[in-house]
């Protein structure tokens, strides 16, 4: 059977032959200009087909100017052509102009189609104007302007999911079912992805079960989202089960599936495992791309193995894959972590040379590196600069900035900057408070630290284990061991469980300010709770405990509580 036989009879095949004659924009425009001069004029349908092709090439501005030419010609355009125009404006981020076209459709006496509304909704969503999309959608239903179809629901749901309103999206799913519109696998996938991004993977899995029960088959997109969600929560076994389930359903993994797994391994510090996944990927005929290489580079950067990271970078260039800003951000971050600010600056210069735009992450990493190098003046200058070029700082930028100021003994500046940030209408999060509490505690301002701690609580924020540890450390360093221990009890009551860091902080406090008996007591508690003594506490222990006290009782505890490798390497000199 030929292609021609597959086409519905109403579509003239000639127009399809016409549009196959070009494969670039110039040819298409040339053809358009020839068509518009023809006498008699070709059917509108031919123009519609031609413009559809131009839109497929993402040449929205061109498409709009051609439609304008049509409007000033003898040809009467229809609602369908207007839809193309609205669609172009929505892709150009100018949906208000799209609404103007909509107005002219109505004025010309054409009836807007459901697809017209779908396109308008999509335009609003693309511009992040989800609330307006919601209002328009409700209007369509309430005033019975048109019956929403699958695409209408999908578009609004997409907006809701992107805007972080998964809950409303799920409600819309139920609503569309009630109205007798069967959700497709695409709609389910969207919500499953949104749930996974909210870390609500169990709810996502429930929805997977539900869709299967309703005979809607999940596809590779559905599984990719679930695998990513599970990996993000460290639920490796279940992620593996998902891959096996895909296999049972005869759904083959695609490049994204491999990239998700590669990235998950890299984030766990298992770059070698990630590399073997890449080998499998290549064997299965999927080509590693910029995302794959960037994940590996990031993996090495996170481990501070810059030489390895650069090797992968070179291999990527060799493979003729263009690095992008994300690739460079990883390298900058890696150099900054290794306190190699010069290396980071070279990468930063390379970004500019390649005419790439630094992002908020680029600047956040650079700020981190500059503060780490003790160059707080340069850091503050860069902070000014990023804002002057229109890059808006986010919470991570602020926490790097406040932390950097504190670590460079400029706590007062950090505190006043913090107040400025709040006055600018930004609601501080727990991380910002934590950074400041830690900074105060380490710079002899325990009182201010305690004030900040109660302030964050009164704001309705919940301190996390890092916040508590910073506070407990502050108390311990000033000798308030009992108060520190009380805080450990309190955090547990509040549902935040102390971790190994908490116990080691208290241990070091007890070692500095309490008796040997107290130390033994605390060590026993650590043992009971299954926490071990880490390296810095261990060295402090060896220095603080007089040799006469290092009896068999003590040694037994040490053997139990101190990791083997620490004992082997460092315990010899003591004897």
Partner DNA sequence: GTAGGGTTAG
| Number of residues located near DNA, criterion CB under 7 A | 74
149 is a site residue for DNA (CB under 7 A): no
d(CA 515, CA 113): 82
Nearer to DNA, 67 or 260 (CB): 260
Q: Provide CB contacts within 8 A for 266, sequence distance 6+.
A: 274, 295, 296, 298, 299, 302
State the minimum distance, in angstroms, from the CB of residue 122 to DNA: 9
Packed helices 325-337 and 306-318: angle between N→C axes, nearest 10 degrees:
160
- The residue range among 304-312, 493-501, 548-556, 564-572 that interacts with DNA, by the rule CB under 7 A, is 493-501
Residues shown for the chain: 575
| Tokens matching residue 357 | 């735009």
Q: Would you count residue 340 as binding DNA (CB under 7 A)?
A: no
- DSSP string covering 266-301: HHTT-HHHHHHHHHHHHHTTPPP-HHHHHHHHHHHH
Q: Is 158 in the site for DNA (CB under 7 A)?
A: yes
Restricted to residues 390-409, the positions that interact with DNA (CB under 7 A) are: 394-397, 399-400, 403
The span from the CA of 394 to the CA of 281, in Å, is 36
Which residue among 327, 386, 410, 519 contacts DNA (CB under 7 A)? 327
Of 35, 151, 430, 545, the one binding DNA (CB under 7 A) is 430
Taking CB under 7 A as the rule, does residue 304 contact DNA? no
Q: Of the candidates 233, 231, 213, which has an alpha carbon nearest to the alpha carbon of residue 223?
A: 231
With contact defined as beta carbons under 8 Å apart, do 273 and 305 qualify? Answer: no
CB 208, min distance to DNA, A? 12
The interface with DNA within residues 72-131 (CB under 7 A) comprises none
Instruction: Give 490's DSSP letter.
Output: H
Among 78, 254, 308, 350, binds DNA (CB under 7 A): 254
Between CA 421 and CA 557 the distance in angstroms is 49
CA-nearest of 467, 535, 549, 548 to 507 is 535
**Rg, C-alpha atoms of the chain:** 31
Least Å distance between CB 260 and DNA?
5
From 221, 344, 382, 519, residue interacting with DNA (rule: CB under 7 A): 221
Ramachandran class of 339: left when φ > 0, alpha when ψ lies in -120 to 50, beta otherwise: left
**Backbone phi, then psi, for 30, in 5-degree steps?**
-60, -45
Distance CA 268, CA 278 (A): 16
Q: Which C-beta is closer to DNA: that of 53 or that of 193?
A: 193
Return the residues of window 278-297 that contact DNA according to CB under 7 A.
Answer: 289-292, 294-295
Q: Are 288 and 276 in contact (CB under 8 A)?
A: no
Chain positions 513 to 552 lying near DNA, rule: CB under 7 A, are 534, 536
Q: Are the C-beta atoms of residues 393 and 387 closer than 8 Å to each other? A: yes
Q: Which of 466, 477, 458 is nearest to 432 (CA)?
A: 466
Stretch that binds DNA, among 6-14, 319-327, 413-421, 513-521 (CB under 7 A): 319-327
- Angle at CA of residue 216, ends 280 and 180, nearest 5°: 150
Which of 83, 169, 189, 376 is in the footprint of DNA by CB under 7 A?
189
Smallest gap from Cβ 534 to DNA, in A, equals 3
- Between residues 50 and 187, which has the closer beta carbon with respect to DNA? 187
Q: Is 361 in the site for DNA (CB under 7 A)?
A: yes
User: Which listed residue (116, 118, 224, 376) binds DNA by CB under 7 A?
Assistant: 224
Among 123, 298, 300, 379, binds DNA (CB under 7 A): 298
> Residues 136, 168, 325, 557: which binds DNA (CB under 7 A)?
325
Site for DNA in 444-483 (CB under 7 A): 464-467, 469-470, 473
Determine contact, residues 332/362, Cβ cutoff 8 Å. yes
CA dihedral 488, 490, 492, 495 (to 10 degrees): -140
Give the DSSP H or E segment for 416.
helix 411-423
For residues 146 and 120, the answer to whether their CB atoms sit within 8 Å is no
Please report whether residue 438 would count as binding DNA according to CB under 7 A.
Answer: yes
CB of 184 to DNA, least distance (A): 7
Nearer to DNA, 272 or 551 (CB): 272
Binding mask 366-395 for DNA (x = CB under 7 A): --x-------------------------xx
Tokens coding 58: 């993402």
Q: Residue 367: which residues within 8 A CB-CB, separation 6 or more?
A: 379, 382, 383, 397, 400, 401, 404
129, 256, 410, 445: residue in contact with DNA (rule CB under 7 A): 256
Candidate residues 91, 105, 152, 263; the one interacting with DNA per rule CB under 7 A:
263
Closest separation in Å from C-beta 256 to DNA: 4
Q: Nearest distance from residue 150's CB to DNA, in Å? A: 12
Give the range of 103-111, 127-135, 260-268, 374-382 binding DNA by CB under 7 A: 260-268
CB of 46 or CB of 362, closer to DNA: 362
Asked if 364 is part of the footprint of DNA (rule: CB under 7 A), the reply reads yes
CB-wise, 16 or 443, nearer to DNA?
A: 443
Indicate which single residue of 75, 80, 141, 326 sits in contact with DNA (rule: CB under 7 A).
Answer: 326
Whether 420 and 408 have beta carbons less than 8 Å apart is answered as: no
**185, 245, 413, 527: which one binds DNA (CB under 7 A):** 185
Q: Report whether the peptide linkage leading into residue 40 is cis, meaning its omega lies within 30 degrees of zero.
A: yes
The least CB distance from residue 186 to DNA, in Å, is 4
For the CB of residue 119, give the shortest distance to DNA in the complex, in Å: 13
Among 70, 302, 316, 519, interactor with DNA by CB under 7 A? 302
At closest approach, how far in Å is the CB of 417 from DNA?
15
- To DNA, the closest distance from the beta carbon of 549 in angstroms equals 22
Selected binder of DNA within 176, 277, 502, 510 (CB under 7 A): 502
CA dihedral over 159, 165, 168, 169, signed as positive or negative = positive
Instruction: State which of residues 83, 118, 330, 376 lies at the interface with DNA (CB under 7 A).
Output: 330
Q: Does 219 bind DNA (CB under 7 A)?
A: yes
């Amino acid at each position: 059977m030929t292609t021609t036989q597959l086409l519905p009879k109403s579509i003239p095949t000639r127009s399809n032959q016409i549009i196959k004659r070009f494969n670039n924009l110039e040819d298409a425009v040339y053809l358009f200009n020839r068509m518009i001069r023809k006498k008699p004029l070709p059917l509108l349908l031919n123009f519609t087909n031609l413009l559809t092709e131009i839109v497929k090439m993402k040449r929205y501005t061109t498409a709009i100017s051609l439609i304008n030419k049509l409007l000033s010609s003898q040809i009467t355009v229809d609602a369908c052509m207007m839809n193309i125009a609205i669609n172009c404006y929505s892709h150009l981020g100018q949906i208000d102009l799209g609404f103007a076209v909509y107005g002219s459709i109505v004025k010309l006496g054409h009836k807007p189609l459901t697809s017209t509304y779908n396109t308008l909704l999509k335009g609003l969503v693309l511009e992040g104007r989800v609330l307006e999309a919601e209002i328009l959608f409700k209007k369509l239903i309430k005033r019975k302007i048109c019956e929403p179809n699958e695409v209408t629901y999908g578009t609004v749901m997409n907006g809701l999911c992107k805007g972080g309103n998964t809950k409303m999206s799920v409600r819309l799913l139920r609503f569309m079912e009630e109205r007798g519109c069967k959700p497709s696998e695409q709609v389910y996938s969207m919500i499953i992805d949104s749930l996974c991004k909210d870390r609500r993977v169990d709810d996502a899995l429930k929805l997977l079960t539900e869709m299967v029960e309703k005979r809607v088959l999940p596809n590779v997109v559905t599984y990719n989202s679930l695998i990513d969600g599970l990996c993000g929560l460290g639920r490796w076994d279940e992620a593996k089960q998902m891959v096996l389930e895909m296999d049972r359903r005869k759904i083959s993994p695609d490049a994204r599936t491999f990239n998700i797994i590669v990235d998950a391994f890299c984030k766990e510090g298992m770059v070698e495992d990630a590399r073997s996944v890449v080998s499998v990927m290549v064997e299965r005929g999927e080509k590693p791309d910029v995302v794959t290489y960037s994940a590996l580079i990031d993996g090495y950067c996170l481990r501070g193995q810059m030489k390895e990271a650069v090797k992968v970078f070179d291999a990527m260039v060799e493979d003729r894959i263009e690095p992008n800003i994300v690739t460079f951000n990883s390298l900058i971050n890696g150099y900054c972590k290794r306190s190699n600010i010069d290396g980071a600056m070279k990468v930063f210069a390379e970004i500019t040379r390649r005419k790439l735009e630094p992002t908020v992450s680029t600047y956040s990493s650079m700020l981190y590196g500059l503060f780490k190098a003790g160059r707080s003046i340069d850091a503050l200058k860069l902070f000014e600069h990023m804002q002057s070029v229109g890059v808006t700082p986010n919470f991570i930028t602020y926490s790097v900035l406040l932390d950097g100021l504190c670590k460079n003994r400029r706590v007062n500046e950090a505190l006043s900057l913090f107040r400025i940030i709040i006055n600018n209408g930004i609601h501080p999060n727990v991380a910002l408070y934590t950074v400041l509490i830690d900074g105060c505690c380490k710079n002899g301002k325990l009182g201010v630290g305690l004030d900040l701690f109660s302030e964050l609580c009164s704001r309705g924020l919940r301190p996390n284990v890092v916040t508590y540890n910073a506070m407990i450390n502050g108390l311990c360093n000033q000798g308030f061991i009992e108060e520190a221990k009380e805080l450990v009890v309190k955090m547990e009551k509040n549902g935040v469980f102390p971790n190994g860091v908490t116990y080691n902080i208290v241990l070091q406090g007890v070692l500095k300010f309490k008796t040997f008996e107290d130390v033994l007591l605390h060590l026993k508690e650590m043992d009971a709770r299954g926490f071990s003594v880490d390296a810095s506490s261990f060295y402090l222990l060896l220095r603080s405990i007089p040799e006469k006290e290092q009896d068999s009782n003590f040694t037994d505890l040490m053997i139990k509580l101190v990791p083997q490798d620490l004992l082997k390497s460092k315990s010899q000199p003591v004897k």
